[in-house]
């Protein structure tokens, strides 16, 4: 029989946290290793974006380690162990899929599944609103997307691009007004509103805004490195724009020397 690799991992973690274990592992707390959980999640996302199967496997292992680490720390305190974690998620998956594991009929579309999930979570967790479960600690862009997905599960959503774009135009006008008034507080508020609408547009087309922005970040990095080589002190804005266009591939653009 093939050795249970998962149980081996749990045993290794228990040893590392034990009396004769690693000093570093033994002194960690749930809060102290949170940065690693977040870092490993982003590293896995990067591997997926690059379609790097080898690193996907490795980063999933690193993520699994974080789960086992947290569970072992709780086990040390007598709160819960990894089996309790697994039992909890097994139960949740079965309960939230009655159309697969139960006798509920009529759920055959993804939006029906999502609606059932949200209704069930609201009832079980005794939440006043479907958006109450969105963590405040999430990065703002991801939180915005999640808030909108939760809200849309109730039917609260834009039906057309035209409606979203009209709202975007309205928010852009508000940004311009705030800029004219030179109110930093209002400018920040209106920029936030504008970004929220852009997240709405992305979600409307099933585009992850975080991934979209990351792709633009990578594109900016590649283009800026080209621009950086030709930047000179005293360049005007027009000259820098010309450099940027050149970096984008418009080799016909003429770059004049700075005055």
| pTM, two decimal places | 0.64
Q: Which pLDDT score is estimated for 74? A: 97
pLDDT at 257 over 70: no
Contacts (Cβ under 8 Å, ≥6 apart) of 165 = 201
pLDDT at 39 over 50: yes
Residue 155 in any domain: the answer is no
Q: Which pLDDT score is estimated for 98? A: 83
Contacts (Cβ under 8 Å, ≥6 apart) of 104 = 98
In angstroms, the Cα distances linking 252 to 164, 172, 224 are 37, 33, 18
Residue 54 in any domain: the answer is yes
In our burial notation (b when 16+ CB lie closer than 10 A, e otherwise), range 191-223 reads eebbbbbbbbbbbbeeeebbeeebeeeeeeeeb
**Is there a contact between 207 and 220 (Cβ–Cβ < 8 Å)?**
no
In angstroms, the Cα distances linking 32 to 27, 44, 110, 181 are 9, 21, 38, 44
140-182: per-residue pLDDT in tens? Answer: 998 999 899 888 888 889 999 999 999 999 999 999 999 999 9
Per-residue confidence band for 259, with pLDDT thresholds at 50, 70 and 90: very low
pLDDT at 2 over 90: no
Residue 162 in any domain: the answer is no
pLDDT at 245 over 50: yes
CA distance 196 to 235: 34
Residue 149 in any domain: the answer is no
CA distance 17 to 231: 53
CA distance 65 to 59: 10
Q: Which pLDDT score is estimated for 251? A: 45
**Is there a contact between 130 and 122 (Cβ–Cβ < 8 Å)?**
yes
Please compute Rg for the chain using Cα positions: 25
**Is there a contact between 153 and 115 (Cβ–Cβ < 8 Å)?**
yes
Q: In the 8-state DSSP scheme, what is residue 256?
A: P
Structural domains of the chain, count: 2
CA distance 249 to 30: 49
| CATH number of the domain within which 69 lies | 1.10.287.1080
Q: Which pLDDT score is estimated for 10? A: 96
Residue 232 in any domain: the answer is yes
Contacts (Cβ under 8 Å, ≥6 apart) of 171 = 190, 193, 194, 197
Residue with tokens 């029989």: 1
Residue 86 in any domain: the answer is yes
- Domain range holding 88? 5-95
Higher pLDDT, 125 or 205: 205
Q: Which of 4-8, 111-115, 175-179, 227-231 has the weakest average pLDDT?
A: 111-115
Task: Single out the residue in 74, 95, 116 at which a domain terminates.
Answer: 95
Work out the percent of the chain whose per-residue pLDDT is above 90: 64
Task: Single out the residue in 64, 95, 126 at which a domain terminates.
Answer: 95
Task: Single out the residue in 71, 95, 119 at which a domain terminates.
Answer: 95
Residue 238 in any domain: the answer is yes
Residue 185 in any domain: the answer is no
């Amino acid at each position: 029989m093939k050795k249970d690799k998962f149980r081996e991992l749990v045993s290794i973690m228990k040893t590392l946290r034990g009396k004769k274990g690693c000093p570093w592992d033994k002194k960690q707390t749930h809060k102290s290793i949170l940065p690693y959980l977040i870092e490993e999640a982003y590293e896995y996302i990067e591997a997926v974006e690059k379609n790097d199967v080898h690193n996907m496997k490795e980063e999933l292992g690193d993520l699994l380690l974080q789960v086992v680490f947290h569970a072992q720390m709780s086990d040390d305190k007598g709160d819960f162990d990894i089996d309790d974690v697994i039992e909890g998620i097994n139960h949740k998956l079965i309960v939230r899929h009655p159309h697969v594991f139960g006798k509920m009929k009529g759920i055959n579309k993804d939006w029906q599944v999502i609606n059932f999930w949200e209704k069930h979570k609201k009832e079980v967790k005794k939440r006043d609103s479907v958006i109450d479960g969105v963590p405040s600690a999430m990065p703002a862009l991801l939180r915005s997307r999640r808030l909108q997905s939760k809200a849309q599960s109730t039917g609260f959503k834009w039906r057309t691009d035209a409606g979203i774009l009209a709202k975007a135009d309205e928010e852009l006008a508000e940004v311009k007004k705030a800029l004219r008034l030179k109110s930093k507080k209002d400018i920040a508020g209106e920029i936030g509103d504008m970004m929220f609408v852009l997240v709405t547009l992305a979600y409307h087309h099933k585009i992850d805004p975080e991934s979209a922005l990351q792709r633009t970040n990578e594109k900016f990095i590649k283009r800026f490195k080209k621009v950086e080589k030709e930047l000179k002190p005293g360049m005007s804005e027009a000259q820098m724009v010309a450099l940027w266009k050149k970096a984008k591939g418009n080799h016909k653009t003429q770059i004049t020397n700075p005055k």
